[in-house]
Amino acid sequence: MPGAIAAAASVRVAQKVHLPVGPAVTGLDARVNMTPEEYLEARLDQQIHWYSAKSRSNQIWFRALRLIEIAFASASPFLVNQITADTAALKIIVGSMGVCVAVIAGIVSLYRFQENWIEYRATAESLKHEKFLFLTKSPPYEGENSFHAFVSNVESLISKENTNWSGALREKPKTKDEE
């Protein structure tokens, strides 16, 4: 992989890109001009890693919580039938399981684990797609200004995902009438 990056960088040694300096551009050591190799290592590879890790984390949380929710929800009706005068403690257990199901459903809904998992995975895969198009000099990255077009497309993907994320935070919950 480093050889492919070096090959792409050597072809475009003269090309550099100007990135804004500030809190939105992290891990770039406040560099203003970057070569393709520097951009791939300092920006793109870090973003692909971040989105992949966040996707994986959200997938694990979503699946784990949903499995617990399903297990508790399906066991509760069976356990309710087992409650007798001699098994009063079972009432507390069944009640606690019902509360857990409700809390887990709320957590899954509040933190949007499934949506984040899918969105982060899609962004990571889109970034990988752009990277391989650029490294192989495939359209639209076969021309003279290919590096600038590449950076523009990558930054656009990252910005779009950030905009979607902040929009989801501002989104009002739907009422029963709106659904």
Beta bridge partners of 33: 18
**Average pLDDT, rounded, for the chain:** 84
Return the bridge partners of 34, or none: 17
- Sign of the CA dihedral with 135 first, then 156, 57, and 46 last: positive
**pLDDT, tens digit, 9 for 90 and up, residues 80-139:** 988 888 888 999 999 999 999 999 999 999 999 999 999 999 999 999 999 999 999 999
Residue ranges of the domains in the chain?
35-166
pTM tops 0.75: no
- Distance (Å, whole) CA 44 – CA 50: 10
Q: Specify the long-range contacts of residues 101-109, CB closer than 8 Å, at least 24 apart.
A: 101/69, 101/72, 101/73, 101/76, 104/65, 104/66, 104/68, 104/69, 104/72, 105/69, 107/65, 108/62, 108/65, 108/66, 108/69
Q: Residue 88: its pLDDT value, please?
A: 83
pLDDT band for 43, please (50, 70, 90 cuts).
very high
